[in-house]
Chains A and B, each alone.
Chain A
Amino acid sequence: MEEESHGSNYGETETSPSASTSSEDSILNSSDHSTHASRPAERITIYEEKAEEGEDSDCYVVCCKRLKHAPPITQDRISALPNSILLNILSSLPTKDAIKTGVLSKRWSYVWTSVPSLSFTDDYENTDHFATAVDNTLLLHKAPKLTKFYLRFNYKPDLKPRLDLWVRLATNAMVEQLSLRLTYAHVFNFETYLLPQHLYTNQFVSELDFSFCNIKPIGVVHLSSLKRLCIGYTALCGDDIRKVVMGSPRLEYLELNNCCRLNRLDIASESLKKLVINNHFMLTAAGKIDDPVFELEIVAPKIESLEILGTFCMKKCRIKDVSSLVKAKLDFSMAVLKVEEESACNEYQEAVRELLESLHHVKELFVGKWCLMVLSLMSVKHVPSPLLKCKYVTVKTSMKKWDLPGIASLLQSLPYVEKLVIDISHHNLGFKILERHYLSYYNYDDMSHWKSKEIYFKFLLLCLKTVKIFGFGENLVNIKEVFVLVVQFLLKNANVMEKMIITKPRVMQNQRKSGWIGGQWTPASRAVYNLSDTVARCTTQVYPR
Chain B
Amino acid sequence: MALELKSSDNKIFEVEELVAVQSETIKSLVEDGCADNVIPLPNVDSKTLELVLDWCKNHVDMKLDEEKLKEYEDKFIEVDQAVLYDLLLAANYLNIKDLLNRACQKVADMLKGKTPEQIRETLNIVNDFSPEEEEEIRKENLWAFEE
Contact = CB atoms under 8 A, between A and B. Distances in A.
Interface SS of chain B: helix, strand, loop or mixed?
helix
Interface string B92-126: 10000000110011011101111110011001111
Contacts of B100: 85, 88
Count class of interface residues, chain A: 35 or more
25 contacts: A25-B53, A28-B14, A50-B61, A51-B65, A57-B71, A63-B50, A67-B50, A70-B79, A72-B80, A72-B82, A73-B85, A76-B124, A78-B123, A81-B88, A82-B92, A85-B92, A92-B104, A97-B113, A101-B111, A102-B141, A103-B134, A105-B127, A106-B129, A129-B143, A140-B141
A478 interface: no
Contacts of A34: none
B16 A23 contact: yes
B101 A88 contact: yes
Contacts of A27: 11, 13-14, 50
A84 B127 CA distance: 22
Nearest to B18: A23
A106 B82 contact: no
A104 B119 contact: yes
A185 to B, nearest CB: 19
Interface in A93-108: 93-97, 99-106, 108
B17 to A, nearest CB: 10
Nearest to B85: A77
Given A62-B54, A81-B85, A136-B143, 10 more contacts: A25-B53, A28-B12, A60-B58, A72-B80, A79-B123, A85-B92, A85-B104, A97-B112, A100-B114, A104-B119
A140 B140 contact: yes
Interface in B1-23: 10-16, 18-19
A89 B129 contact: no
A103 B137 contact: yes
A513 interface: no
Nearest to B115: A100
Contact of A25 (B11, B13, B68, B88): B13
B70 to A, nearest CB: 10
B57 interface: yes
A75 B127 contact: no
Contact of B126 (A63, A82, A105): A105
A57 B65 CA distance: 10
A67 B89 contact: no
A103 to B, nearest CB: 5
A108 B111 CA distance: 14
Contacts of A79: 123, 125
A236 B5 CA distance: 57
A133 interface: yes
Contact of B104 (A88, A109, A136, A137): A88
Contacts of A96: 143-144
Contacts of B134: 103
A190 to B, nearest CB: 25
Given A50-B61, A99-B144, A133-B143, A69 B16 contact: no
A46 B143 CA distance: 52
A11 interface: no
B80 A68 contact: yes
A60 B61 contact: yes
B83 A57 contact: no
A100 B122 CA distance: 15
Contacts of A314: none
A194 interface: no
A103 B79 contact: no
Contact of B83 (A48, A70, A90, A97): A70
Interface of B: 10-16, 18-19, 47, 50-51, 53-54, 57-58, 60-62, 65, 67-68, 71-72, 75-76, 78-83, 85, 88-89, 92, 100-101, 104-105, 107-109, 111-116, 119-120, 123-129, 134, 137-138, 140-141, 143-145
Contacts of B16: 23-25
B119 A101 contact: yes
A61 to B, nearest CB: 7
B61 A78 contact: no
A29 B53 CA distance: 15
B78 to A, nearest CB: 7
A443 interface: no
Contacts of B92: 82, 84-85
A92 B85 contact: no
B104 A103 contact: no
A78 B80 contact: no
B47 to A, nearest CB: 6
A29 B46 CA distance: 10
Contacts of A48: 61
Given A51-B61, A129-B143, A76 B123 contact: yes
A525 interface: no
Contacts of A25: 13-16, 19, 53, 57
A74 B107 CA distance: 16
Contacts of A108: 125
B113 A105 contact: no
